[in-house]
Amino acid sequence: MGISIRNKVAFITGASAGIGKATAFALAAEGARLLLCARSTDALTAMRDDLIAAGAADVFPFALDVSKRTEVQAALQQIPVEWQDITILVNNAGLARGLEKLYLDNPDHWDEMIDTNVKGLLYVTRAVLPGMVERGAGHLVNLGSTAGHMAYGGGSMYCATKAAEKMLSEGMRIDLLGTPVRVTSIDPGMVETRFSEVRFGGDKERAAKVYANTTPLTPDDVADAIRWAVTRPAHVNVSNVLLTSITQANSLSIHRTA
């Protein structure tokens, strides 16, 4: 049998939409207490009643930009004491910017992706993980990507940040040997969210073409994998879940209908 996460604090970054939002609902169904952050609390606050109705024991939303180290440290020190014993951390916050050849790309895009996808993951993990080790309980879930396994044209920096996530997850798993804290990397392929719209600066038409004539994953598919991983028996560590839809084999091989 798996473990229960009922009444356990699950902290999800980037929880206002997409995979983060779907994960909040998946863990709500398991009775978790949900600690949710995003850059703005508007969407999180609007979700609260629905999450409670879905089974969440409680919900605490707060604003946080994970790319700001001092902001992360301060925010996590200032949350109410009853929310500080975090059992599950889902490092979901992340983004891509542009799809340009590296030598022509805007360096501001590099900074934003590195600051959010790599540094943000590190800042939040550094603030939360010591408490898990001290309490002898915890599960760290990092959102990776097929892009961390195989590069694609125009995505060099994004792929590099997801390759960094893959190596960080592997290194953390080694560092945590001898503790009960588990580390899982969830690495999806194409998921139909606002990801491509953000990547292309709000260009919905261009974003739609990414998923045209194919069957991408949904946020619920990824959230289901996360829920499965965090509810395995305590001695089982799901190191990595690499998942794509049936129409995608890897970052480059995608079947599209006519």
The answer to whether residue 103 is catalytic is no
pLDDT band at 258 (very low <50, low <70, confident <90, very high): confident
Kindly state the average pLDDT of the residues 173-187: 98
Indicate whether 77 pLDDT > 90.
yes
- Using one digit for the tens of pLDDT, what is the confidence trace for 187-237? 999 999 999 999 999 999 999 999 999 999 999 999 999 999 999 999 999
Which residue out of 123, 152, 158, 211 is catalytically annotated? 158
CATH architecture of the region 9-243:
3-Layer(aba) Sandwich (3.40)
Give me 123's structure tokens: 């800042």
Q: Round the average pLDDT of the chain to a whole number and report it.
A: 97
Q: Is the dihedral of CA 209, 213, 217, 220 positive or negative?
A: positive
- Using one digit for the tens of pLDDT, what is the confidence trace for 209-221? 999 999 999 999 9
Q: What's the predicted TM-score (pTM) here?
A: 0.97
Q: What is the dihedral of CA 133, 238, 6, 4, to 10 degrees?
A: -110
Residue 35 vs residues 17, 60, 202, 228: alpha-carbon distances, Å: 15, 5, 28, 19
